Amino acid sequence: MTKRNIFMPRVTAPLAVSASLVLAACGSSTEDRTLSGAGIGAAAGTAVGAVTGLSLLEGAAIGAVVGGATGALTDESDVNLGKPIWRDGAQSSMVRDTQIGLNRLGYDAGPADGVMGPRTRQAINTFQANNGLPVDGRPSQSLLDEINRQS
């Protein structure tokens, strides 16, 4: 009779679940929800793989596919746990670049500090409305491209 290593499922699975939830549990855009869902699904799948006949990798792969599909098929009203912590750096630089561009075009986006405040949101809304874009008050790469095209 072989001795089973109980350390692996008892320690590895909870660590994988915790790490994935910390890194992935959020998203207001479809892309963020898809990535978050895949991360959460992989963590949950790893735990399932640890306690069933599946390997950890098989459980993680199945969970990632199911979680990613769930994230992709939902909208903001279904799942929105806020801004992903892994987007902070990219988002703040996009907000800062958007603020710089809007200020250059004469829209008062406030200081170019990378913080999405009410003045920045209003400037984005006004720019979007003035340019026939969908008005959602959110920074995005396509918005920044349009701002840069005009400046």
Contact 115, 92 (CB under 8 A): yes
- pLDDT at 133 (0 to 100): 94
pLDDT tens per residue, range 94-133 = 899 999 999 999 999 999 988 888 999 999 999 999 999 9
Model confidence pTM above 0.75: no
Alpha-carbon dihedral angle through residues 74, 79, 80, 85, given to the nearest 10 degrees: -90
DSSP letters, 79-135, are: ----S-GGGHHHHHHHHHHHHHHHHHTT-----SSS---HHHHHHHHHHHHHTT---
